[in-house]
Chain A
Amino acid sequence: MVKHYLPSSFQEALEIKHQEDVMLIAGGTDLMVQHRTWSELPPQFDKPLLFLFNLAELKYIKKDANTLYIGSMTDLETLLYHNDTPPCLKDIIALMASPAIRYVCTLAGNIVNASPAADSLLALYALDAKLVLTSLKEERIVSIESFITGPRQTIIKSNEIIKEIQLPHQPFNRVHFKKIGGRKSDAISKLAFLGLANVNQDHQIDTFRIVLNAVAPTLIRLHETERTVEGLSLEAFKHQKDALLEAYNTAIKPIDDQRSNRTYRRQAALNLIRQFIETL
């Protein structure tokens, strides 16, 4: 039988990760499904597991003047009901899986799983999340977008563990989240859309964000396109509608699968973008 590890401190976890080729497991809600074999048998992993979910020191939500700090083993139910969780992230979590799953499901797990259809990543992309990656010897901070390189691919090193997710405070007074699943709750997204903007008193767009999932190998956020409309008056912005739609239409590359098809994904994504632009 493979030996698995249930560390009692983060330090111990880092030491194990440093010494041995182990697989990290956070809440396990994805891994336990992916690796199951037959009822009553243990799931089959080809490496020893390092169980992180019980590490109390990685369960926290704190903030300072600029940033919200989320310990990597914070579960989604806690985030859903916490006062400091950004509203768009709450909207997203409320429609993720079910209460029972959310109670043992973590942001870090979602991030490392790097699914193109991950909903929580919409907010992390839109809010310019940073990840603190820790190993026994060092610590580095990377942006969420540089961390995820492809479907289920990340730049995490074999000795690293995500310690924290950092969300810089950013004001948005326009928030539009829409998830399209096969049903109204407890469904994996066919696609999901998050649109954020901050419109100032002079009716100018200070900041503008659109993130989409499940329409490309990784989530879609077009920084250059966003910059073309930031600073515009709402009036001028509306004239950019076609250009914006064209930019997203070019960037998205949806596929056919058991949940939906590429034509629908493209059309629904464009409709949601148009709706967001028109209601800004």
Chain B
Amino acid sequence: MTTVKFTLNGKKVTLETDISRRFLDVLRNDLNQTGPKEGCGEGECGACAVLLDGHSVNSCLLPLAYVHNKEVMTIEGYAETERYKVLEEAFIHEGSVQCGICIPGMMIAAESLLNQNPNPSETSIRHSLSGNLCRCTGYNMIVKAIQRAAQRGKGLW
């Protein structure tokens, strides 16, 4: 047992548990955050994505050890932000959501991109989503939503 301390959605968390555990399991089982989903368990699909210090990471690959002293935001926390609302509107407007299992991860990837680059090209958007698989939409309507959010969210990122 090692003590791990981090911030989850703005609140301090201290855990004593096996630090090799997948952060995804800790989030879902210990911290009741079920927004991150397990789609593949090997870092391919991105359904488990969360923000680590503002950057998208796959929580299914992340040992709990590595969130020590870091800031984590899950989709649950992100949903409380102004930026989220802009992306949410855009995803609805473009009809980007089908089965929805990949969408929280897509939102996290979009935030991570816009955080780094508020005016991304279509190519950068596509590359920023390369670790988020979607089998329903063919991606184009998601790409359009991120373009729309970048346009309408001026100043927020």
Chain A interfacial positions (CB closer than 8 Å to B)? 1-6, 25, 28-29, 32-33, 36, 39-43, 45, 49, 51, 53-54, 77, 94, 97-101, 103-104, 185-186
Establish whether residues B2 and A186, one from each chain, have CB atoms under 8 Å apart when the complex forms: no
Establish whether residues A42 and B20, one from each chain, have CB atoms under 8 Å apart when the complex forms: yes
Given the known inter-chain contacts A42-B21, A99-B128, A101-B61, please indicate yes or no for A4 contacting B66, CB distance below 8 A.
Answer: no
7 example contacts (A-B, Cβ-Cβ < 8 A) are as follows: A33-B42, A36-B22, A41-B25, A99-B128, A100-B46, A104-B57, A186-B130
A77-B131 Cα distance, complex, nearest whole Å: 14
Establish whether residues B62 and A28, one from each chain, have CB atoms under 8 Å apart when the complex forms: yes
* Chain A CB within 8 A of B88 CB: no
* Chain A CB within 8 A of B29 CB: yes
Given the known inter-chain contacts A99-B128, A100-B49, please indicate yes or no for A4 contacting B41, CB distance below 8 A.
Answer: no
Q: For B25, list chain A residues within 8 Å (CB).
A: 39-42
* Chain A CB within 8 A of B151 CB: no
A54-B113 Cα distance, complex, nearest whole Å: 23
A222-B21 Cα distance, complex, nearest whole Å: 43
Q: When each residue 98-124 of chain B gets 1 if its CB lies under 8 Å from chain A and 0 otherwise, what string results?
A: 000000000001001100000000000
Q: For A101, list chain B residues within 8 Å (CB).
A: 43, 58, 61, 131
What's the nearest-Cβ distance from chain A to residue B143, in Å? 13
Establish whether residues A99 and B42, one from each chain, have CB atoms under 8 Å apart when the complex forms: no
CB closest residue in chain A, given B60: A32
Q: For B69, list chain A residues within 8 Å (CB).
A: 54
Given the known inter-chain contacts A45-B20, A97-B131, A98-B131, please indicate yes or no for A77 contacting B55, CB distance below 8 A.
Answer: yes
* Chain A CB within 8 A of B144 CB: no
A100-B127 Cα distance, complex, nearest whole Å: 11
Establish whether residues A40 and B29, one from each chain, have CB atoms under 8 Å apart when the complex forms: yes
What's the nearest-Cβ distance from chain A to residue B111, in Å? 12
Q: For B38, list chain A residues within 8 Å (CB).
A: 39
Given the known inter-chain contacts A28-B66, A51-B63, please indicate yes or no for A103 contacting B56, CB distance below 8 A.
Answer: yes
Q: For B82, list chain A residues within 8 Å (CB).
A: none
Given the known inter-chain contacts A1-B18, A42-B21, A43-B22, please indicate yes or no for A6 contacting B65, CB distance below 8 A.
Answer: yes
Given contacts A6-B19, A42-B18, 4 further A-B pairs with CB under 8 A are A6-B65, A33-B42, A43-B20, A54-B69
A197-B6 Cα distance, complex, nearest whole Å: 47
* Chain A CB within 8 A of B44 CB: yes
CB closest residue in chain B, given A102: B131
Q: For A103, list chain B residues within 8 Å (CB).
A: 52, 55-57
Q: When each residue 29-67 of chain B gets 1 if its CB lies under 8 Å from chain A and 0 otherwise, what string results?
A: 100000000100111101001001001111011110110
* Chain A CB within 8 A of B68 CB: yes
Q: For A40, list chain B residues within 8 Å (CB).
A: 25, 28-29
A220-B147 Cα distance, complex, nearest whole Å: 42
Establish whether residues A99 and B130, one from each chain, have CB atoms under 8 Å apart when the complex forms: yes
Q: For A98, list chain B residues within 8 Å (CB).
A: 43, 46, 130-132
Establish whether residues B63 and A100, one from each chain, have CB atoms under 8 Å apart when the complex forms: no
> B20 is contacted by which of A33, A49, A54, A100 (Cβ under 8 Å)?
A49
Given the known inter-chain contacts A43-B20, A99-B56, A100-B58, please indicate yes or no for A185 contacting B127, CB distance below 8 A.
Answer: yes
A187-B131 Cα distance, complex, nearest whole Å: 10
Q: For B42, list chain A residues within 8 Å (CB).
A: 33, 36
